[in-house]
Structure 1
Amino acid sequence: MDTKKFEEFRSKIKENIGKVIVGKGDSVDKIIVAFICSGHVLIEDVPGLGKTKLAKSLSSSMNCNFKRIQFTPDLLPSDLTGIYYYNQKNQDFEFRSGPLLSQIVLADEINRATPRTQSALLECMEERQITVEGNTIKLQRPFFVIATQNPVEQFGTFPLPEAQLDRFFMKLSLGYPDASEEKAMMNRFMTADPLNDLQAVITMEDIEYVQNNYTMVHVSEEIKDYIIAIVSATRSHKEVELGCSPRATLNMMKGSQALAAVRGRDYVIPEDIKELAVPILGHRLMLKNDLGQGNKSKSLIEEIISSIQAPLEKL
């Protein structure tokens, strides 16, 4: 495994996205890690922080097909997957594909759709396929879903069920820019939108290499035990109603491998686990007192990490 290819993959994408998005380097790193692991990302934040532009910049940087879906209460599953319709000219049924048959999909305001429509995402996110009228269609690789939801306005929304939340590799929040970043953004968008001139910097061969080789990063037995200890602690904590699933354990291991690779290492260290714990585990917790659950989940996981001793290097 050549770690330089992973470093170049990360630096090229960050530099290219940086032409459009000011700051947010840490969030971009996490999204790259999720993409390498063939996972999906849920971004929960207030409107206007650049979530859509970030998704478009990522697809343009990789020269991938991109579709944006505006989720609304009247959206149907067939609006996502596509339908079979009767072509009178050919006198036969033909399939008209929906936006899910793309490589990068932005599910905007996902919690505004009904549970029936949200369930249409479950199969494609996990099995990388869709089923329409009994016919199964494999999705093109890479397939990456970036979903957004507004944490403030909850009227007319349908909270994501635990089964769907668990299918998201990680959950992120972009946050507001500081004063210098906001001024740089104003200067950058004063005359034109830099997204229109963004060129691809990553080839399909680059994507295949990182997605097929990140698992070669070494994970020691001590690191595996460390991950298990953290995940197990979420299941036994007195404030937790439902702890993290075994899928979270696997995602922690895979995410730490990808994070180590993009930072030029072929081995995982405890700091990789600590950095990814909140984004990967936070949205998977169901707390007994769920008021302000997002912030409480973060502090709870940080408390668990501080209570578990990290493995030390053997001299």
Structure 2
Amino acid sequence: MSAYAHQMEREFSAQSLMSREDTGTEMGSSYVVESGFYMTSFAATIFIAALVTFGVLLITLLVTLAVMLQSCENRSKGVVEIDKSIENSYHYCNIFALHGELNSLEANEVPPVCKSLAIRYIKGGQYARDLNFTMWMIENFFNSVSPSNDHREAVLLDIDDVLTSHLWRVSPSDRIEDATYLKHLLTLELYKKLQSKGWVLVLLSRKPEKEQNATIEHLSSLGYSGWSSLIMRLDNEMKMDTREYFSIRRAAMKEGGTQVISVISSQMDALTGSFPGIRIFKLPNPLYYYSNSHIENGFVM
């Protein structure tokens, strides 16, 4: 074979080898990266599967976080709505109680939610704070005025709450019993302070006059003494509206030369009508309707 033929054979063998390297027929399937990193098809499949799995996990995590955030938002919204509902009910019941007392509504006309909020009002301690502040206002007023020397000026005190004090111990809860006791304690303390300043004290009651002896004995046992007069209902006044009854009695006092300086009561019927005095004070009484509906069961606030 000539030298030229040998040269051609060598070139043909070199081209065949390069062709086999390019098609991967000897080494199997492979991927070539420009950086020089080689990956088999099996490794590439695993790599892609790992990426897909990671992506699925990431999406799952994002969805879970979104659901948790939505749940927290709903719970927070629910708490806000509950608080708002309680606040709205509280304002509603305040307005209802005011107009209810002004119009002498019966206990069965009071919405149940208002009775529940009244209990909450006491158990939360707000009743005691309001009562103390009211007593402070009363004392502050009487520190600014003085009785005249002729003793013709009187302070009217509604004592029906005091007259039912024997029912203290029968109550729905200890907290309410404590609040009831606090009211009687502060009322007696106020009574003695006014008495020590020389004010003429007139006690008002809605009870019949035929119970006068028992009432006086009861008041004495509770620490009350030295009052100027005790006003109770005559037989012909028992069916009379209590607002009219109190107005008639105050008018009679004025005609007799006695000036009413102040009326102190927890109920509106004693604070409305004619001749109420220079200053009237209403003691907080959140269980007015509740106690009226349960008075026969032995609980009065």
Q: TM-score, normalised by structure 2?
A: 0.24
Tell me which structure has the larger Cα radius of gyration: 2
TM-score of the superposed pair, with normalisation by structure 1: 0.24
